[in-house]
Amino acid sequence: MSGEKLVLIVIDGLTPAMLEDAVERRTAPALRFLMEHGDYRRSVTTFPSLTPVCLASLATGAHPDMHGIPHLVWFHRGEQRIVEYGSSFGAVRAAGTARSLRDAVFSMNAEHLSRQAVTVYEALEGAGRVTAAVNMVCYRGPVRHLPTVPGLARAAYGPSRFFYYNLFESDVTGAPLAIRTRARGSVDEYAKAVGRWLVTRDGFDFLVFYLPDYDFASHAAGPEAAHDALARADGAIGALLAAAGGPDEFLERYSVVLCSDHGQTRVDRPARLEDSFSGFRLFRRGDGRDAELAITASNRAGMVYRLPGCRLETRELAERLDGDPGVGVVLFRENGEAVARREREELRFAPGEQGWRTSGDEGLLDQPGALERSWAALANANAGELIVSAAPGVEFADLGGRHHVGGGSHGSLELGDSEVPMLTIGLDSTPARIVDVAPLVLGHFGVEAQTRAA
């Protein structure tokens, strides 16, 4: 019998195959214990399959059309600037380091995440529950927190118990500094110490325990190679079990959802989406005058924003990408329908009374949940007129020219980028989509899923 309280564990970038393999080979004892006591399936994330987008979907139960976060890097039409949450150090420098840090730490939650979407922390705290989050990128909640770092004064609104990379710490836990030695897993070391502290005190009703280091390692090593990083994530989860007095005692106290935010696939060649639009005046930081297009690409997804000076229609821009070997599928909207285009083939689709109305080449979008995910990505007011899903094996260079060729990446509609492991213990169901996680969590506490009026 599992507990009434609940822990949501998110291992960033973990593929189902890596988890299943580690459990079978007995190299991840904590994960193996949880898998033996739960219901497991492979599930589908949202699109673009990039961390800020996916974690916003996990925290709100909504796709980007509702939660508003379009990509890891995007063009803010209202502020006429590029928002870069952290594709790479080079990309952050290109977008402006201080501005990027402000966007990632504060603005994503305080401004970019739509008010229409209600986070699990907001809904549960509203029902009198104590929620907690460790390093969770999407954290918006009702409780005001001041930074622990001297010289920073801006408050963030999060769950009651809020720990975010030493920048915000609602309680003094003695956990070590998080950001010093990223490659050796120092962020997860910090999470492990804070998680141990929280479970020892049983200090929450609902905890989001987010472990980002695996994704970092898998980008570098490739999607089937980050075994050490997975072992470290397993160690952090093991620390939670031990803090409850042992694995069985942990499950007596807590129900569990364990998943990742997206998958990863191997990348063997880079592409620059900007190169497909040579001859256009592209938006640049510090000089947006007369720009025709803003292009934001990172990992395996790209956006093309049509600016007022652009002489071509959206469809003509999509046609420019015909024959581009880096491009898998180009998505855009036309006459109330969505269009997926590859070479000269097209699939048109829109939601109908009984499921999707489609016409054209169905084979264009045969990835899991592709119609729903594409539609929702396009319907996001912050998305570009074109959304580009990269071809298999291709990664788009980011603003700083960086990519992970020879390693792993994600972001596209393709199966490997989109599929996530999903494990539940003590819950009514095991979600087939990550947007079903938040409603499941709320239902566990007897709270109804909500949205706000636009």
Q: Residue 215 interacts with Zn ion (CB under 5 A)? A: yes
Q: Which is nearer to Zn ion, 140 or 300 (CB)?
A: 300
Binding footprint of Zn ion, residue count (CB under 5 A): 1
**Cβ-proximal residue to Zn ion, closest one:** 215
Alpha helices in 69-212 (DSSP H): 89-95, 97-102, 120-126, 186-200
Rounded to a whole number of angstroms, the minimum distance from the CB of residue 303 to Zn ion is 17
Q: Which is nearer to Zn ion, 65 or 215 (CB)?
A: 215
One-letter amino acid of 109 = N
Q: Which is nearer to Zn ion, 124 or 420 (CB)?
A: 420
Taking 3-state DSSP, the helix, strand and coil percentages for the chain, each rounded to the nearest 5, stand at: 35, 25, 40
Rounded to a whole number of angstroms, the minimum distance from the CB of residue 299 to Zn ion is 7
Rounded to a whole number of angstroms, the minimum distance from the CB of residue 165 to Zn ion is 17
Task: Write the CA distances from 65 to 51, 134, 329, 383, integer angstroms.
Answer: 16, 26, 19, 9
- Calpha distance 26→410 (Å, rounded): 27
Burial of residue 203 (CB within 10 Å: 0-12, 13-18, 19+) is middle
Mask for 161-200, x = binds Zn ion (CB under 5 A): ----------------------------------------
- Calpha distance 303→385 (Å, rounded): 7
Interacting span for Zn ion (CB under 5 A) from 210-218, 230-238, 290-298, 386-394: 210-218
Contact 50, 411 (CB under 8 A): yes
Q: Which is nearer to Zn ion, 189 or 215 (CB)?
A: 215
Q: Residue 419 interacts with Zn ion (CB under 5 A)? A: no
Q: Which is nearer to Zn ion, 45 or 276 (CB)?
A: 45
Rounded to a whole number of angstroms, the minimum distance from the CB of residue 124 to Zn ion is 28
Burial of residue 252 (CB within 10 Å: 0-12, 13-18, 19+) is middle
Rounded to a whole number of angstroms, the minimum distance from the CB of residue 58 to Zn ion is 15
Q: Residue 417 interacts with Zn ion (CB under 5 A)? A: no
Which residues of the chain form contacts with Zn ion (CB under 5 A)? 215
